[in-house]
């Protein structure tokens, strides 16, 4: 009987702490609204990123590193520096995908469908609450960030063939997103953001792209017709 008492006490403590944590978590809509307000009030943003792409079917994993730059309206640049150089550059009208190693550049017209809602919130556009069913992530494999972060699970209201759901780790201090995951049927595309800085007056030239001499330019829009 005496041995059972400590176990019972521990169980009660665990239940109490779980309930306290649940009570401490604000309503999901409040977290989402504050997160979107953060990006709505941001003119530009820059930082480092780490991308981990996992093929869950075959168990393979690929890790990349680079720098992210975002500027309103509609400008974004992802510079991959390791293990292979490449860049995704959006100037507000056109999305370029540049692959120096293969000497190719793919040109796409830019719209919200091109970027996807999972990225447009970085530009302060889109309404996540209208486009997703959002809840706190409960599955252990989906929980992101530190113990003080909120992990949101976003299920698209209109199903898309591109992914099953999204995960966002939100930092409570300013409601910036520090991690995002695109969960597909047989893959997980995980981004971790560090050294984030906002309103640093990024110059528009950073989001312009002129294919270097010898680069083969491929019009992706024409290829889809």
Please write down the HEC assignment for all residues of 95-147. EEEEECCCCEEEEEECCHHHHCHHHHHHHCCCCHHHHEEEEECCCHHHCCCCC
- Quote the pLDDT of residue 12: 38
In angstroms, the CA 49 to CA 45 distance is 12
Model confidence pLDDT, tens digit, residues 37-85: 999 999 999 999 999 999 999 999 999 999 999 999 889 999 999 999 9
pLDDT at residue 6 is higher than 60 = no
CATH code of the domain in which 150 resides = 2.50.20.10
How many structural domains comprise the chain? 1
Question: 77 or 118: which carries more pLDDT confidence?
Answer: 77
Any domain includes 139: yes
Q: Which domain holds residue 159?
A: 27-223
- Quote the pLDDT of residue 162: 85
Nearest to 198 by CA among 46, 34, 36, 37: 46
In angstroms, the CA 207 to CA 75 distance is 6
Model confidence pLDDT, tens digit, residues 174-201: 999 999 999 999 999 999 999 999 999 9
pTM of the model: 0.83
Any domain includes 16: no
Any domain includes 4: no
* Helix (H), strand (E) at residue 163: none
Q: What is the mean pLDDT of residues 198-210?
A: 96
Any domain includes 12: no
- Quote the pLDDT of residue 117: 59
- Quote the pLDDT of residue 206: 96
Confidence of residue 122 (pLDDT cuts 50, 70, 90): confident
Model confidence pLDDT, tens digit, residues 92-101: 899 999 999 9
3-class secondary structure, 220: helix
In angstroms, the CA 65 to CA 138 distance is 28
Residue written as tokens 């312009």? Answer: 208
Nearest to 72 by CA among 87, 46, 92: 92
pLDDT at residue 120 is higher than 80 = no
Any domain includes 22: no
């Amino acid at each position: 009987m005496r041995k059972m008492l400590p176990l019972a006490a521990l169980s009660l403590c665990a239940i109490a702490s779980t309930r306290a944590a649940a009570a401490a978590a604000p309503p999901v809509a409040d977290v989402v609204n504050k997160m979107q307000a953060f990006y709505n009030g941001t003119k530009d943003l820059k930082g480092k990123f780490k991308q981990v792409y996992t093929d869950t079917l075959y168990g393979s994993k690929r890790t990349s590193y680079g720098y992210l730059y975002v500027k309103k309206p509609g400008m974004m640049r992802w510079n991959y520096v390791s293990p292979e150089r490449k860049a995704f550059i959006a100037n507000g009208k056109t999305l370029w995908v540049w692959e120096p190693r293969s000497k190719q550049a793919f040109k796409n017209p830019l719209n919200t469908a091109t970027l996807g809602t999972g990225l447009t919130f970085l530009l302060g556009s889109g309404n996540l609450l209208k486009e997703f069913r959002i809840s706190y992530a409960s599955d252990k494999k989906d929980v992101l960030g530190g113990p003080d972060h909120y992990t949101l699970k976003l299920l698209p209201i209109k199903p898309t063939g591109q992914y099953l759901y999204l995960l966002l780790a939100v930092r409570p201090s300013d409601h910036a997103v520090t991690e995002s995951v695109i969960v597909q049927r047989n893959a997980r595309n995980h981004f971790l953001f560090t050294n984030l800085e906002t309103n640093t007056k990024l110059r528009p030239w950073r989001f312009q792209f002129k294919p270097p001499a010898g680069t083969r330019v491929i019009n992706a829009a024409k290829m889809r017709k």
